[in-house]
Amino acid sequence: MRMSTLFLRTLREDPADAEVASHKLLVRAGYIRRAAPGIYSWLPLGLKVLAKIEAVVREEMDAIGAQEVHFPALLPKEPYEATGRWTEYGPNLFRVKDRKEADYLLAPTHEEMFTLLVRDLYSSYKDLPAILYQVQTKYRDEARPRAGLIRGREFIMKDSYSFDIDEAGLDASYAKHRGAYQRIFDRLGLDYVIVAAEAGAMGGSRSEEFLHPCEIGEDTFVRSAGGYAANVEAVATPVPGEQDASGIGPAHVEDTPDTPTIDTLVAAANQIAPRQDRPWTAADTLKNVVVALVSPTGERELLVVGLPGDRQVDAKRLEAAVFPAEVDQTTEADFAAHPELVPGYIGPQVLGPNGAPREEDRTDGAGGAVRYLLDPRVVPGTAWVTGANERGKHVFDLVAGRDFTADGVIDVAEVRAGDEAPDGSGPLELARGIEIGHIFALGQKYAKALELSVLDQNGKAVTVTMGSYGLGVTRVLAAIAESTSDEKGLAWPVPVAPAHVHVLATGKDPAVFETAERLADELDSMGVEVLYDDRPKVSAGVKFADSELLGLPYALVVGRGLADGVVEVRHRASGDREELPPEQAVARLRELLTGAGLSLR
Amino acid sequence: MRMSTLFLRTLREDPADAEVASHKLLVRAGYIRRAAPGIYSWLPLGLKVLAKIEAVVREEMDAIGAQEVHFPALLPKEPYEATGRWTEYGPNLFRVKDRKEADYLLAPTHEEMFTLLVRDLYSSYKDLPAILYQVQTKYRDEARPRAGLIRGREFIMKDSYSFDIDEAGLDASYAKHRGAYQRIFDRLGLDYVIVAAEAGAMGGSRSEEFLHPCEIGEDTFVRSAGGYAANVEAVATPVPGEQDASGIGPAHVEDTPDTPTIDTLVAAANQIAPRQDRPWTAADTLKNVVVALVSPTGERELLVVGLPGDRQVDAKRLEAAVFPAEVDQTTEADFAAHPELVPGYIGPQVLGPNGAPREEDRTDGAGGAVRYLLDPRVVPGTAWVTGANERGKHVFDLVAGRDFTADGVIDVAEVRAGDEAPDGSGPLELARGIEIGHIFALGQKYAKALELSVLDQNGKAVTVTMGSYGLGVTRVLAAIAESTSDEKGLAWPVPVAPAHVHVLATGKDPAVFETAERLADELDSMGVEVLYDDRPKVSAGVKFADSELLGLPYALVVGRGLADGVVEVRHRASGDREELPPEQAVARLRELLTGAGLSLR
């Protein structure tokens, strides 16, 4: 590859819409270009990195006995209707009508199609286990595509699916995938944490995410020193035992003027009704948060979440908990339709089973007042200070189970650093990460819906047990860029770099260009991938800046030093430089690349 | 690969919807499965063939200096609106609305996006020439998807685009592609003919198709002994010189009862008004054929085509000539709206410029009667027998140019074997073919519409001159299957076979299985791709039938003969068989594969 003809132009300015380093640098270095929101075109260098990542993924999938197939992206609606996902995916699905008005979709994932294909081909327990995979373009109409390749609407995924006769088989297939993913990310040099996760739209009994720890990640996860790790959506709050409320007097309403917030309420409580043992804190108050939910079919419903006043509702935990419904902002109209909800002073007495039956307000037809769900910490016997449903009034000593109940439990309060791990393995710490893989023990959800069964040893039909396993190829590329780049540009590790050595000829001396070309040829003949900056009229400064921006692992600079018999080997990641005679430089590069695992001729 | 675990089930029955050999066999042999009309899933063996074809395509594209990029399939409407193709493609385009109601399409081809990308990166004549390509999934909502992979709605295409400063540059880029395509098809062992073609939706000055000659092909092409070759849509009828009509008397209407067809008319003419020199023939009559056209925006218009009565209108030539309008069936309502059109007796006197102005009947707002276009053979001075626009009456000696004119010329009459080639290179013969490639000298259509210009040596902005070049990867696979298969199954040439040698162990003797496995390992260690039929309880007959159906180039059969020290090498294409001692069989296979161009270890 020669810079003089390579289809590449580097940009000095960050693209206006880019917030994160990988996005800025991949665009500036000419690896990708935006075609539409969340939709990117791949330029030559980007495509080379992508191909290298895909090759590693394929090798490790093949190594666990997975077989590669390839499904269409454009699929008929019917299989997705059979599993309910045509509706569940809601507006996240790109939907297409063909010229005969038949419904199609651009597939976000292919559980249905793999299930049907296996049903089509296999019929006996002897055919199992089977693991099938594809590396394929996926579509998801994200509400907020962002961060370049990290949350796109058209992206490349490796998705695989396992088919087993029973749970033990699934466990083995799941373990194989877990191992393959570990080897893939290790080979790619990408840090990861495996965390317990929610299955979400996929369904199934159990799932784990592979997260690349990274400040700009969209996922928050927790871990304890004792080894617990989970996506924040999947953290189950430890439930305290029921408490004895026999010593607590009857609830009493107090005037608390101008206390619409937890802080003002706590201050007022300590003034109006000071406790003997200790002051009131936010943790003594019960906050009732109103949210609006929209079902996949578009029905809107209000929900009130009751939780200790020292905790916020975590938006992601809430989204995961109410899936497939989506969370929407509440509006003035919502409150107008529910005059019993007095903002700042909402209490349980008018909510859920405590409220008046108001069938006309419920879209789910269940009758009763606005649905009311409680944080798991609000166990029977706990006493709370909470709203009295009248402006400027709160109620004290309102005891859960005695004075109010709820429609159920919802575990959506924020998880905080220092919270106890659910398995008792110590306090939690929080971090952010990019989801680079997600593995699901699906069980029989899809096999049942699409009637995939095989005959067992006794000739009896048995529903097949499935797993599904996703790995975001384009997202992995972005995560590597994110974790390896610096303020000067990209800095690819050897296994995924678009080429291994950037040979730069600087200055105007023809001898420099001749030597540079000869060294590039020598490296090339060893099997080293070379990008040669042969541009005749470009300054050394521009060449250095471009080289740092493009981020090949090593640069070989042939310039003024050549007159003194030396060239320079530059290490992109460390910034190290070595001056060596030309032939020693080639030998040094061979040594470095071989050390990084490359097999050269 | 082992048959015992390969994700493969062969079928004994042809799929119900399959008409052509490639479709039947690719499904029966477990290479592909139908997911929806014109949309297929790829199973492991199919995917391997596809990957081999893609690799050959990439090598030859890289060899002409083309650089690989990759565009999204899901694209915003705007660029396609700028070139008019959003409308022109009509119902052939899959259209998508995203969650914000923005319009997208699934791209059938990417001229617009490549043009914009080059505009984004390049600005100087020094950046040119450039050739960019991708191997990518394309979409086209075909009215009649058919023949399996031959006319699909989701398919893989290699599309490339050339960018040059002038026509001479385009000529060079065009010639490079022509050469690359020849090398690709030669390497794949696929016969082809290069024919002149119509540019159709693509636009541009000049285009050629690569057709694989094949009975089931959808394209008809012509060639002459002198070297002329063209797609039937692109054949230009030689135009005779104007004729001297001074000796022809005035036109006269004759009673010709019950002569609604050309045959009945010719018989009546010879009876009523016999000629002195020779009998009347169909070639003396002017037939006026009514067709309905629907514009991409849905407007319907009638058109009358006047042509010699011995020729039919060719549906494909008509489609190409009226593009972007589509041809529709005429209806009773069409004729009811035009009482001047008397079926069986239509004559030029009421048509086009000869007819009464009937503005209200024209959707194009041009005024005048139903539009009338003439075959190029109907030159001024030629005299015709044609309809008199009254049931049972025809007019004789109606002279073109003297007694009637038309709105223009349309060259859509059928081309017949024996017709003279337009370049005078002899009579034409007709054949059918599958379009496997199409190369277009686009010129400046897209560069103008999307404002792609570069500065020339004098600093003046010059519009870039483009070419575009398509190669149907999935269709090439089907064409190879079509041309190499026989009644027993597929028969792949070595360069594209999913594996090179099918090792079969037949019978129950463990020694047979041990030897088969050892030979498979030996071949594998040489770099030969082996599919080993290790299934323990499957009969020799089933194994042989599967092997012939799957169509690997060679089979190595280890069976009863092993006791006598021999195994069998079978040649799939020729049916030849050789009995050899095991080690000699391995050596023979090495010799055969090396002879077919494979480099082995």
Cis-peptide into B129, omega within 30 deg? yes
Mean pLDDT of A343-355: 92
Q: Is A4 on the interface with B (CB under 8 A)?
A: no
pLDDT at res. A355: 83
Quick one: what percent of chain A has pLDDT higher than 90?
Answer: 90
Q: What are the backbone dihedrals phi and psi of residue B401, each rounded to the nearest 5 degrees, phi first?
A: 85, -35
3-class SS at B113?
helix
Q: Coil, helix or strand for B577?
A: strand
Helix, coil or strand: residue B572: coil
The minimum CA-CA distance between B336 and chain A, rounded to whole Å, is 28
Distance from CA of B240 to the nearest CA of A (A): 43
ipTM of the complex: 0.90
Contact A263, A309 (CB under 8 A): no
A477 vs B: CB within 8 A:
no
Among the partner-chain residues B7, B42, B76, the one whose CB lies closest to the CB of A130 is B7
pLDDT at residue A31, rounded to an integer: 98
- In whole angstroms, give the CA distance from residue B11 to residue B528: 27
Q: Find all residues with CB under 8 Å of B110, minimum gap 6, and list them.
A: B71, B75, B134, B136, B159, B161
Give φ, ψ of A330 to 5 degrees.
-80, 155
Residue A327 confidence (pLDDT): 94
Average pLDDT, chain A: 94
pLDDT digits (tens, 9 = 90+) for B261-276: 999 999 999 999 999 9
Of B466, B472, B469, nearest in space to B207 by CA:
B469
Split at pLDDT 50, 70, 90, the class of B365 is very low
Confidence (pLDDT) at B200: 67
Identify the CA nearest to B270 among candidates B381, B167, B385. Answer: B385
Is the model's pLDDT at B363 over the cut of 60?
no
Residues of A in contact with B96 (CB under 8 A): 94-96, 106
Q: Which of A11, A32, A41, A537 to mutate to test the interface with B (most CBs of B within 10 A)?
A: A41
Residues of chain A contacting residue B67, judged by C-beta atoms under 8 Å apart: 6-7, 44
The pLDDT value given to residue B564: 96
Q: In this predicted model, what pLDDT tens digit does every residue of B488-537 receive, in sequence order?
A: 999 999 999 999 999 999 999 999 999 999 999 999 999 999 999 999 99
Where is pLDDT greater, at B246 or A363? B246
Q: Is the pLDDT of residue A352 over 70?
A: yes
Query: Which residues does residue A255 pair with via DSSP β-bridges, in sequence order?
Result: A393
- Asked if B5 lies within 8 A of A121 by C-beta distance, the reply is no
Instruction: Count CB-CB contacts under 10 A for residue A451.
Output: 13
In chain B, which residue's Cα lies nearest the Cα of A121?
B9
What kind and span of H or E run contains B162? strand B154-164
Please report the beta strands in B165-267, taking only residues with DSSP state E, as ranges in sequence order. Answer: 193-196, 206-213, 219-224, 229-231, 252-255
Contact criterion met (CB < 8 Å) for A33 and B65: no
Average pLDDT over residues A151-171: 97
A30 vs A33: CA distance, rounded Å: 7
Query: Which range has the top average pLDDT, A223-237, A351-365, A468-482?
Result: A468-482
**Residues B149, A79: Cα–Cα separation, whole Å:** 22
Residue type, B148: G
DSSP class of A276: S
Check residue A416 and report its DSSP letter.
-
Question: In which band, very low, low, confident or very high, does the pLDDT at B366 lie, cut at 50, 70 and 90?
Answer: very low
The bridge status of strand B453-455 relative to strand B461-463 is antiparallel
Percentage, residues of chain B above pLDDT 70: 97
DSSP letter assigned to residue A311 = -
User: Which residue segments constitute the domains of chain B, with CATH numbers given?
Assistant: 48-70+107-235+429-482 (3.30.930.10), 252-409 (3.90.960.10), 499-595 (3.40.50.800)
Look at phi and psi of residue B527 and say left if phi exceeds 0, alpha if psi is from -120 to 50, else beta: left
What mean pLDDT value characterizes chain B? 94
Give the contacts of B502 (CB within 8 A, at least 6 positions apart): B530, B531, B533, B547, B550, B552, B554, B555, B556
Helix (H, G, I), strand (E, B) or coil at A445: helix
- Cβ distance B41 to A67 less than 8 Å, yes or no, reads no
- For A516-561, how does the pLDDT look when each residue is reduced to its tens digit (9 = 90+)? 999 999 999 999 999 999 999 999 999 999 999 999 999 999 999 9
> What is the C-alpha to C-alpha distance for residues B66 and B121, in angstroms, rounded to an integer?
16
Strands A393-399 and A383-390: antiparallel
- On whether the CB atoms of residues A344 and A387 are closer than 8 A, the answer is yes
Q: Which residues pair with B109 in a beta bridge?
A: none
Our CA-based measurement puts residue B448 at a distance from the nearest CA of chain A, in whole angstroms, of 20
Q: Does A276 touch chain B (CB under 8 A)?
A: no
Strand partners, B160: B133, B469
- Interface A-B: count of C-beta contacts within 8 A: 130
**pLDDT score for A367:** 43
Type and span of the H or E element at A577: strand A577-580
CA distances from A113 to A45, A46, A400, A575, B454 (A): 33, 30, 48, 49, 48
Identify which of A8, A39, A74 has the shortest CB distance to residue B139: A74
Q: For residue A91, list chain B residues with Cβ-Cβ distance below 8 A.
A: 99
Is the pLDDT at B357 greater than 80? The verdict is: no
Comparing C-alpha atoms, which of B484, B509, B504 is closest to residue B494? B484
Residues in CB range of A466: below 8 A, 6 or more apart: A111, A115, A161, A162, A163, A164, A170, A442, A443, A444, A445, A446, A447, A452
Separation CA B11–CA B3 (nearest Å): 15
Nearest to B98 among A43, A94, A113 (CB): A94
Mutation test of the interface with chain A: which of B39, B52, B114, B133, choosing the one with the most A Cβ atoms within 10 A?
A: B39
d(CA B377, CA A174): 73
